[in-house]
Amino acid sequence: MDFDIPADIRAYLAELDSFIEREIKPLERENIQYFDHRREHARTDWDNDGQPRKEWEDLLREMRRRADKAGHLRFALPKEVGGKGGSNLAMAIIREHLAHKGLGLHNDLQNESSIVGNFPVVHLLMNWGNAEQKQLIEGCITGENRICFGLTEPNHGSDATWMETTARKEGGDWIINGAKRFNTGMHHATHDMVFARTSGKAGDALGITAFLVPIGTPGLKVDFFWWTFNMPSDHPEVSITNVRVPDSAILGGEGRGLLVAQNFVHENRIRQAASGVGVAQYCIDESVAYARNRKVFGKALSSHQAIQWPLAELNTECEMVRGLVYKTAWHLDRNNHLEVSDWVSMANYRGNRLACNAADTAIQVHGGIGYTRHKPFEHIYRHHRRYRITEGSEEIQIRKVAGHLFGMMGSQKKAEAAE
């Protein structure tokens, strides 16, 4: 075994650091209202359903443009679309490194924008898209196209096999009816990836189909936006009423939509876990530095075991979860993602939980000043708290680990991986 970070990745981290200092930090300083204590208000258009302000999204777009021009944004994408074919291990190390820097334009927590982009939809289009759908790829990278992910429903979240949205064949078209919840990004989307049951019965894994529905298609309507713990919010409720799409709108084959969805969430879960490790280490490091400098009752705050021990426990857990994330990413580079989905689940739920615990502890160590918005810990907590629910709640992740542990999911895993 070799636990050293590969030399090429170490060199690339230094290259990213140099780019951030040269291109991104000056832009961030010019727009510091989006990152200091005013960040939530500066980012949120309170009178427009709590959606992100245009100016905020324009700034993120400029960050991505600069990162793309410098050759960083597409790092993890295949060379055929301008990427560098970066591995899952490299992406885990990079995402941890960027999150460890704390809040900043280089790697924003609130909406997952980063100088090294995460493009799960691009991989879906490359793996399963038809010729017409693949024409959307470049626009998805540059931001001209935005494909949303319509899986969660008002009555069904983690239990996606029970979804009530249906699609029936009518001639050469499909008619879709149903509703989606937390259909993120619909305020500026060009397409929505709508999952609907086309065959089978409720609870069946097969029989659900993914459709790429263009925004503006009659019957596809944003009803309202949910205001969330982490603002601004781009998580709307969407109604789908007699939406007609051609057979060519199917992505990944009829009845095989959940295989598409699994690929999407596995891509996100491991990178969320890596970010969780990075931001947890940031919270630990900031708390240690504060405790060393803060004087209470005539001596350093760090001299008290009540301060030392929680941070020592967190630092130990951070080291353990980091190893788990790296090992899982290493496995993903060598195996079909369905064969190691239990590893992905372990890394994801422990990484998400670690980030929340670290942010909460940082608030406590910093005392009253930690509770203010002048420190970033409340922002970190609000962002990472959602990951204990989204992309599969931590209960679902633990259930999956248990399913593999007790042999209840092994045969399903092998069958799905072979398809």
Catalytic residues: 391
Which tokens go with 260? 């598409």
**CB distance 225 to 236 below 8 Å:** yes
Strands 191-197 and 147-150: parallel
For 198, residues 6+ apart whose C-beta sits below 8 A from its C-beta are: 166, 167, 168, 169, 174, 207, 208, 209, 254, 255
Phi, then psi, of 255 in degrees rounded to 5: 80, 0
Phi, then psi, of 321 in degrees rounded to 5: -70, -35
Bridge partners, 193 (sequence order): 149, 212
DSSP line for 252-263: S-TTBHHHHHHH
**CB distance 306 to 350 below 8 Å:** no
Give the DSSP H or E segment for 387.
none
Q: How far apart are CA 392 and CA 385, in angstroms?
A: 13
Hey, how many other C-beta atoms are within 10 angstroms of the C-beta on 316? 10
**CB distance 74 to 83 below 8 Å:** yes
Reference 76, options 85, 64, 68; nearest CA is: 85
Which tokens go with 158? 């983690």
**CB distance 213 to 147 below 8 Å:** no
Reference 288, options 270, 313, 308, 264; nearest CA is: 308
Q: 53: exposed, middle or buried (C-beta count within 10 Å: 0-12, 13-18, 19+)?
A: middle
**CB distance 163 to 133 below 8 Å:** no
For 303, residues 6+ apart whose C-beta sits below 8 A from its C-beta are: none
Hey, how many other C-beta atoms are within 10 angstroms of the C-beta on 395? 12
Q: Where are the alpha helices (DSSP H) in 39-87?
A: 39-43, 54-69
**CB distance 197 to 166 below 8 Å:** yes
